[in-house]
């Protein structure tokens, strides 16, 4: 992980010495990305700034790198995994002056021109100045794992690894693109297929395209793009059998994991309870220390427990990093995180991931890179069961087709209105598709292309920022083009067998991981049965200090034009009352937009100088089953129930006696059975639940039933957390 920054003059003129100040400001803004070294370069029309996190050749691999004659100058962020293989194929007599994995790129460019990345495997963003042609070259890896942003006008180009650095150039706009952001499916959560290019959220800021080489003629200002890799067509053009495809996928994944271990420093691993990170751990030749987020959500959905069990099975050290249910990000803490992320999609997942990296940086600073399981679900069928809505492959495909139809509705809303009428649509979907002018790709392929966009705009983006903010590099073995190309080639007839529920991965790891891990259903990070803990945490974050974050968001440039302040406050009150009343992510995203608009206008100082909250601690776990009560007590921190509080049963909550056993009660919420109460095991609880009428204080009710409030405090608190009980109107 390194940081790039720079500027280039257009029109054949050199940079003046005044550019040095801009370079220093831009580079200082991204200093967190490279704690090991800072270098500057200025010659002719080009100025470069570079901050280094040294993972390969720590002593001699500094940048900028240049050829012997100085005709080519390079700065690069990332890793070239097959650099030794590429170096071996260079023309005889080629001399590499360092042990850097990136130096080979200079010689590949000199030999192959714009085709120099065709055989490169790795994750990278690079800037190369071709002095002879007076050409500036940008390039990024196939999945956009490493970032590179730029602003260009008729006079100059500024570029950097993070958007915030560009804002130091007075010519770069510092304005949020409200309309584009608010309409993006990544923000709205709209289930629609689409593969429009990822964007940078701010006006006048471009994101260098993934899998492509972008060139600027610094004499004329002309810009051109050469694509060296394109997302594959899902045409199922292989004749391989199921067994052959499973074997090919497993072999390619093992090779990718080996590639991602390339470093001269220690590498760790973030381990969840799912199959993806467990697979990386099992295939690694090293024995990485592993780190897991332990919070209310991952406790209840058992993600943290399964991470512990997987690590124990593999003989790996596992750190359970504690974020208890009373810990709420502070106002300044959230703003710092959001500025680090520079995307409205910052939310619970990005925050928890950032806190994991902070723990590693503080407690294990010798670890400079982290292996991840991210990017697996998007390209091996991880979302098939979710999109099937509890059904099978045919239901999955039917719902994907509906997502495709929705895309065409957006493009041609007049005809699309026929799909909004009650009952089945009376028009043929092909007519809507033809009218919308969409390319002839089937919806199955478009789903994967949509995920390719999602990976660039969210997954790679937040993994880069959360890692870089702590001077660590994130490595993602599942984002290897060889894996995606194998899945793309699966014949139509074999898709239900191999793509459904990630079977190509599950079958490929048979015998490598325990059956319990191989068959465990997908549970997204903090979701599942414990999501209310996370929702409560982030509702509390927005509400603290009298809704200060909402106030600041609504004061951001343009916010009042787009955001409804009254509705935002009402949504927050509802989430405070009942975490299941909505999705806190949408409220956080709306607030993020206003906050980002404000911070872009009034730039915060460098992140390396901003105060940080205390680092989380870990919980030593030896035997999860034996320590379960102790772990739960550390994670789920509950305030004592106030005897003066007035509570009521939630609307829609009914207690129904089981017909077969009069000691058993069913708790139904909105017609669905949610819980079972056994009077034998929890004597008095059903009576107390029925007594909550929204009029009398808890203490009075307990006394009238001759019960002990202390004994029932955990149950009352759990009922409040689950939304079965609510605070009566007009009380707190």
pLDDT tens track for 131-141: 999 999 999 99
**Backbone angle region of 412, left / alpha / beta, with phi > 0 → left and psi within -120 to 50 → alpha:** beta
pLDDT at 309: 96
Contacts of 392 (CB under 8 A, 6+ apart): none
Counting Cβ atoms within 10 Å, is residue 60 exposed (0-12), middle (13-18) or buried (19+)? exposed
Contact between 396 and 387 (Cβ < 8 Å): yes
Q: Averaged over 252-277, what is the pLDDT?
A: 96
Q: What is the CA radius of gyration of the chain?
A: 27
Cβ–Cβ under 8 Å, residues 193 and 404: yes
The pLDDT > 70 percentage for the chain reads 98
What does the pLDDT read at residue 304?
Answer: 96
Above 90 in pLDDT, residue 728?
A: no
Backbone angles phi, psi at 98, to 5 degrees: -135, 175
Query: Per-residue pLDDT tens for 128-179?
Result: 999 999 999 999 999 999 999 999 999 999 999 999 999 999 999 999 999 9
The pLDDT of residue 725 is 87
Find the mean pLDDT for residues 56-83. Answer: 90
- Packing angle between helix 303-314 and helix 624-635, nearest 10 degrees? 140
User: Who wins on pLDDT, 667 or 41?
Assistant: 41
pLDDT over 80 at 545, yes or no: yes
pLDDT for 731 beyond 60? no
Average of per-residue pLDDT across 362-373: 96
Q: Which of 397, 390, 332, 319 is nearest to 361 (CA)?
A: 319
Least confident of 112-126, 367-381, 423-437: 423-437
Instruction: Quote the mean pLDDT of the chain.
Output: 93
- pLDDT value at residue 61: 74
Query: What's the average model confidence in pLDDT over 59-77?
Result: 91
Q: Is the pLDDT of residue 504 over 70?
A: yes
The per-residue pLDDT for 652 is 84
Q: Residue 552 — pLDDT band, cuts 50, 70, 90?
A: very high
Residues 694-721: what's their mean pLDDT?
A: 87
d(C-alpha 304, C-alpha 526), whole Å: 10
Please, what are the domains in the chain? Answer: 3-227 (3.60.20.10), 233-412+442-525+614-636 (3.40.50.620), 527-605 (no CATH), 638-727 (3.90.930)
DSSP string, 671-726: TEEEEEEETTTSTTHHHHHHH-EEEEEHHHHHHHTT--HHHHHHHHHHHHHTTSEE
Two tokens, residue 123: 């994750």
Kindly state the percentage of the chain with pLDDT values over 90. 73
- String of b and e for 188-217 (b: at least 16 CB within 10 Å)? eeeebbbbeebebbbbebbbbbbbbbbbbe
Helices (H), ranges, 196-295: 242-260, 275-283
Query: How many Cβ atoms sit within 10 Å of the Cβ of residue 304?
Result: 29
Query: Residue 732 — pLDDT band, cuts 50, 70, 90?
Result: very low
Mean pLDDT of 631-638: 90
Q: Which pLDDT tens digit goes with each residue over 415-453? A: 988 888 888 888 888 888 888 776 678 999 999 999 999
Q: Is a pLDDT exceeding 70 seen at residue 525?
A: no
- Other C-beta atoms lying within 10 Å of the C-beta of residue 104: 24
CA 147, distance to chain mean position in Å, is 14
Where in the sequence numbering do the catalytic residues fall?
2
Nearest alpha-carbon partner for 200 in 248, 148, 242: 148
Lowest mean pLDDT of 402-411, 482-491, 496-505, name the range. Answer: 402-411
Give the pLDDT confidence score for residue 578 in this predicted structure.
Answer: 83
Whether 399 has a pLDDT exceeding 60, the answer reads yes
CB atoms within 10 A of CB 356: 24
């Amino acid at each position: 992980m390194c940081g790039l920054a720079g500027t280039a003059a257009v029109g054949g003129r050199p940079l003046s010495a005044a550019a040095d100040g801009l370079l220093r400001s831009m580079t200082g803004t991204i200093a967190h990305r490279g704690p090991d070294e800072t270098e500057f370069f200025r010659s002719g029309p080009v100025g470069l700034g570079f901050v280094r996190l040294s993972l390969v050749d720590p002593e001699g691999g500094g940048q900028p790198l240049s050829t012997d004659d100085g005709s080519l100058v390079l700065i690069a962020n990332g890793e070239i995994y097959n650099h030794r293989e590429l170096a071996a194929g260079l023309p005889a007599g080629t001399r590499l002056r360092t042990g850097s994995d990136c130096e080979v790129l200079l010689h590949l460019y000199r030999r192959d021109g714009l085709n120099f990345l065709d055989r490169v495997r790795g994750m990278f963003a690079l800037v190369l100045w071709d002095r002879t042609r007076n050409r500036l070259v940008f390039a990024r890896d196939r999945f956009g794992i490493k970032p590179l942003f730029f602003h260009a006008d008729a006079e100059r180009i500024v570029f950097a690894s993070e958007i915030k650095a560009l804002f130091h150039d007075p010519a770069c706009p510092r304005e949020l693109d409200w309309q584009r952001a608010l309409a993006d499916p990544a923000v709205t959560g709209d289930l629609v297929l689409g593969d429009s290019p990822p964007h940078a959220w701010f006006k006048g800021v471009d994101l260098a395209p993934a899998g492509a080489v972008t060139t600027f003629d610094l004499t004329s200002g002309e810009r051109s793009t050469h694509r060296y890799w394109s997302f594959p067509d899902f045409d199922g053009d292989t004749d391989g059998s199921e067994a052959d495809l499973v074997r090919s996928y497993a072999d390619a994944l093992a090779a990718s994991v080996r590639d991602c271990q390339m470093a001269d420093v220690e590498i760790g691993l973030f381990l969840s309870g799912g199959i993806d990170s467990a697979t990386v751990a099992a295939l690694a030749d090293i024995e990485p220390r592993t780190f897991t987020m332990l919070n209310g959500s991952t406790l209840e959905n058992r993600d943290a427990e399964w991470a512990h069990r997987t690590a124990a099975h593999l003989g790996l050290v596992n750190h359970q990093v504690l974020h208890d249910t009373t810990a709420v990000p502070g106002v300044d803490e959230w703003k710092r995180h959001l500025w680090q992320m520079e995307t409205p999609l910052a939310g619970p997942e990005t925050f928890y991931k950032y806190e994991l990296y902070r723990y590693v940086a503080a407690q294990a600073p010798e670890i400079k890179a982290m292996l991840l399981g991210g990017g697996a679900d998007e390209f091996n069928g991880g979302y098939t069961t979710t999109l099937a809505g509890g059904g099978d492959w045919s239901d999955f495909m039917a719902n994907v087709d509906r997502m495709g139809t929705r895309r065409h509705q957006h493009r041609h809303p007049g005809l699309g209105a026929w799909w909004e009428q009650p009952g089945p649509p009376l028009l043929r979907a092909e007519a809507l598709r033809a009218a919308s002018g969409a390319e002839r790709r089937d919806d199955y392929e478009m789903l994967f292309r949509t995920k390719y966009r999602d990976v660039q705009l969210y997954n790679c983006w937040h993994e880069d920022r959360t890692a870089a903010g702590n001077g660590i590099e994130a490595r993602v073995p599942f984002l290897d083009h060889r894996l995606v190309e194998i899945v793309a080639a699966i014949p139509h007839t074999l898709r239900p067998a191999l793509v459904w529920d990630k079977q190509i991965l599950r079958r490929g790891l048979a015998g490598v991981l325990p059956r319990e891990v191989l068959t465990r259903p997908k549970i997204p990070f903090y979701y599942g049965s414990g999501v209310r803990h996370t929702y409560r945490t982030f509702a509390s974050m927005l509400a603290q200090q009298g809704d200060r974050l909402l106030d600041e968001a609504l004061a951001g440039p343009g916010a009042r034009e787009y955001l409804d302040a009254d509705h935002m406050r009402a949504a927050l009150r509802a989430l405070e009352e009942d975490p299941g009343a909505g999705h806190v992510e949408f409220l956080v995203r709306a607030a993020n937009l206003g906050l980002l608009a404000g911070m872009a206008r009034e730039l915060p100082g460098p992140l390396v100088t901003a105060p940080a909250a205390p680092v989380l601690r870990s919980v030593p776990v030896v035997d999860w089953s034996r320590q379960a009560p102790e772990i739960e007590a550390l994670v789920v921190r509950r305030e004592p129930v106030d005897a003066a509080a007035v509570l009521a049963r939630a609307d829609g909550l009914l207690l129904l006696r089981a017909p077969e056993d009069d000691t058993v009660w069913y708790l139904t919420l909105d017609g669905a059975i949610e819980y079972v109460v056994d009077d034998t095991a929890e004597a008095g609880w059903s009576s107390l639940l029925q007594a909550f009428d929204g009029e009398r204080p808890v203490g009075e009710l307990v006394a009238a039933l001759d019960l002990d409030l202390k004994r029932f405090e955990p149950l009352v608190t759990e009922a409040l957390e689950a939304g079965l009980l609510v605070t009566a109107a007009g009380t707190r």
